[in-house]
C-alpha cells in the first residue's frame, strides 16, 4: 500500500477513477490531467493497492495575503474506487493531502462535500468541521456543443 503524487504517466488510471466520481458525467482527457498535475501548487495524490490506483484527491496550495502570507489549501475531486470504499483507502489519501498541506505551511484546508451524513461524517473524523464557515457554490450551465 503506497500513497504518492500522481504524474502524467498515471493519467489513464486516474481517468478510470474519475469516472467513479462523476458516474455518467463527462471526464476530461489525459492532456487535461497533465495540465492539472503540472500546474504550480497543484498535486493529485493517489493511494495504491498493489499496482491499482484505488483513491485520489486533488490538492491546490494557493498564495495568500492574510495570515502573514501563509498559503491556504483547497481539496477537490476526492474519490475512492467503489470496490475499495470502506477499506481505509480514502482516509489514507486524505491524510496524505492533509500532511502535504501542513508541510506547505498552509494555515487552513478547505473542501466542499455532499450533504449526506456519510460524506460529512467521513471528513469530520479527519478533523474537518462546518461550524466556522459556510461553503457556497455557484455553477455555470454546461457548455452545449
**What does the buried/exposed string (b/e) look like for 82-112 if buried means 16 or more CB atoms within 10 Å of the residue's CB?**
eebeebebbebbbebbbebbeeeebeebbbe
CATH 3.40.630.30 assigned to domain 2-125? The reply is yes
Cβ burial of 134 (10 Å; 0-12, 13-18, 19+) is exposed
What tens digit of pLDDT does each residue of 63-113 get?
A: 999 999 999 999 999 999 999 999 999 999 999 999 999 999 999 999 998
Q: What is the mean pLDDT of residues 40-67?
A: 97
List, in sequence order, the alpha helices (H) in 73-125. Answer: 89-103, 117-125
pTM above 0.85, yes or no: yes
Amino acid at each position: 500500500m503506497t500513497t504518492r503524487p500522481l504524474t502524467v504517466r498515471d493519467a489513464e488510471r486516474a481517468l478510470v477513477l474519475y469516472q467513479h466520481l462523476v458516474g455518467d458525467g463527462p471526464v476530461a482527457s489525459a492532456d487535461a490531467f497533465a495540465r492539472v498535475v503540472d500546474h504550480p501548487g497543484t498535486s493529485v495524490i493517489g493511494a495504491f493497492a498493489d499496482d491499482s490506483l484505488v483513491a485520489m484527491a486533488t490538492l491546490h496550495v494557493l498564495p495568500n495575503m492574510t495570515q502573514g502570507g501563509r498559503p491556504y489549501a483547497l481539496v477537490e475531486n476526492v474519490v475512492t474506487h467503489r470496490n475499495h470504499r470502506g477499506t481505509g483507502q480514502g482516509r489514507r489519501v486524505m491524510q496524505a493531502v492533509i500532511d502535504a498541506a501542513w508541510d506547505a505551511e498552509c494555515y487552513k484546508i478547505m473542501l466542499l462535500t455532499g450533504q449526506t451524513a456519510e460524506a460529512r461524517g467521513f471528513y469530520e473524523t479527519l478533523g474537518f468541521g462546518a461550524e466556522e464557515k459556510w461553503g457556497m457554490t455557484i455553477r455555470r450551465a454546461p457548455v452545449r456543443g
